[in-house]
A and B are shown apart, each in its own frame.
Chain A
């Protein structure tokens, strides 16, 4: 079972992820042609200007107004990338299979960053319940997606600290990681890809067409 999830399942998840993202990208670029305004108004300068203001913490007004959400959101997304890529166990496994290695986080730091991701997920959950304007637009799928993203971190943390049966926990961890990876292109998690395009398009419209700022 372990060799199945650490071998073929990782392959399947990676292929679905890369293939799915490519499919979504190509699909978007094709359908953007039918949306006659997109290509003519897209502007690199203004698009990047807007993107920058939304990638730097507190560079936009709404980020300053909702500072708690901003802090949590940035911490969440940064750790979301940092932990899986620089975790010692992941790097070692990759080096074992392929050869190349890169720097790793210390175990203690990785632990804390994982806790941060889980706490941020709890914050998002509470936010969904507490704020009427968020609760009003929340459906079951929003909870499921949050769980899909949090699960690899929770289970990874449990496996590392050898809570419950280690081997079972590692298998659950790997399956949950694969599920998350495969869900990204086909759910709202695809904002990982689309965010860049929606933001740069809006930045282009505001900057190049309307002579105004959008942050």
Chain B
């Protein structure tokens, strides 16, 4: 009853050992056993009600950047993805083959960002991303996970951080960044393991690994704002969580527990998280849920909210506004998932002279960057389809004619950078803290000579 097969051109085949090699050892019996176990034991009311309520109206489609960017190809619509995976699985009662599971992994893992915009377009509020996360869970239980993504999960599991950062490297990096920060602000410190501090500042592992200057920048901001803060020298400093997106909820739970327990051990008043969206989601929603907590034990706020607080309370002052024209990428997990849209705009307006809002859709309705939900972590094999799957974002950014795209999220930062490169937009991406470093006033008494 759907489109005749001849009308649908096949999608390019992407080689990924995490799928291709691991699928070789799958048997139909094992597949059926895992599928039925996940569906029977790990899903309940939401799963059944969502599937029984969906009237196949297709109204979710216009929400999805994948669908819109792939010439409205129905295979990329949210409900189309559920049809190709869960509907088939249920229709065949789990009796599917290894190639089918590979397809499921491609669809649920690399062609859905779990941005949850589609639930705002579904008249019934069906959480379609949740349904596709059940598919991810099945794929993970079968060992079918894109290789690069699985590597981050392995790292989480073995080192409690995403990028195989060893403890001595972590401490060494902080000391190095403290030195760097003191080149600018004399009082800049990165206090380790300070019990009873007001703020525990946590970051994602790519910061010490490849973007260490962001930590140094934060040390300057904290010094100027005179915040009593700390970072742990022990595990729990990394707030990222790719296991959440790989379907490995056991490791996800361990990682989130370590993060929150570090805060409890340090007896801090609250956790301030760096500019990352998925980490915020993990710490505030997915992690606590898995651990059986209604909310995090220690209050958690995202960097955008923190900056907003520092600026509006006058703890940091803006000396001069950033002159170049800027626009914004509104990260799903803090705007649609955290209601920070207005505060984000206010921080930008307070720091930038020429802010150009993106054309509609904006705020909660804005398009995902295409990188979130673990998609960018699936690595280079999937980059082409990821960039192709977000031409609507490229058009939206190009229309602003801005030079800089502010991206207060690591996934957005890398994803938008790829889109800028892929569509030759000639723009650059910046974190908010990079803007702050340029516009913030350093009081004379704190200036390093």
Contact = CB atoms under 8 A, between A and B. Distances in A.
B124 A35 contact: no
Given A34-B44, A199-B125, A201-B125, A138 B2 contact: yes
B1 interface: yes
B136 to A, nearest CB: 17
A66 B62 contact: yes
A40 B294 CA distance: 7
Interface string A99-133: 00000000000000000000000000000000111
A36 B292 contact: yes
A142 B56 contact: yes
Interface string A15-55: 00000000000001001111111101000000000100010
Contacts of B79: 133, 137
Given A133-B74, A199-B125, A210-B339, A62 B44 contact: no
B72 A133 contact: yes
Interface stretch (B24-32, B47-55, B105-113): B47-55
B365 A61 contact: yes
B59 interface: yes
Interface stretch (B115-123, B190-198, B220-228): B115-123
Contacts of B120: 60-62, 206, 213-215
A28 B365 CA distance: 30
Nearest to A35: B44
A135 B229 CA distance: 56
Nearest to A51: B125
A136 B285 contact: no
A133 B71 CA distance: 11
A71 interface: no
A156 B289 CA distance: 51
Interface stretch (B94-102, B142-150, B330-338): B330-338
Interface in B290-346: 292, 294, 335-341
A38 B45 contact: yes
B253 to A, nearest CB: 13
A188 interface: yes
Contact of A54 (B75, B125, B364, B365): B125
Interface in A175-215: 188, 190-191, 194-195, 197-199, 201-203, 205-206, 209-215
A65 interface: yes
A194 B53 contact: yes
Contact of B52 (A61, A190, A210): A190
Contacts of B126: 198, 202
A38 to B, nearest CB: 6
B365 A202 contact: no
Nearest to A192: B53
A134 interface: yes
B338 A210 contact: yes
A140 interface: yes
B124 A137 contact: no
A211 B338 contact: yes
Contact of A198 (B57, B124, B337): B124
B3 interface: yes
B292 A212 contact: no
B75 to A, nearest CB: 7
A197 B59 CA distance: 19
Nearest to B64: A133
A145 B380 CA distance: 45
Contacts of A28: 45, 48-49
Contact of B62 (A65, A136, A139): A65
B173 to A, nearest CB: 33
Contacts of A135: 1-3, 74
B59 A69 contact: yes
A73 B55 CA distance: 13
A144 to B, nearest CB: 11
B67 interface: yes
Given A32-B44, A35-B45, A212-B337, 5 more contacts: A36-B289, A40-B294, A134-B56, A211-B339, A213-B364
Interface of B: 1-3, 43-50, 52-59, 61-63, 67, 72-75, 77, 79-80, 83, 119-121, 123-127, 285, 289, 292, 294, 335-341, 361, 364-365
15 contacts: A31-B48, A32-B44, A32-B45, A36-B289, A36-B292, A62-B63, A62-B123, A137-B77, A140-B1, A202-B127, A205-B127, A206-B120, A210-B285, A212-B335, A212-B339
User: When A and B form their complex, which 7 residue pairs have the shortest distance between CB atoms, in order from nearest?
Assistant: A211-B339, A202-B125, A136-B74, A35-B44, A134-B58, A32-B45, A34-B44
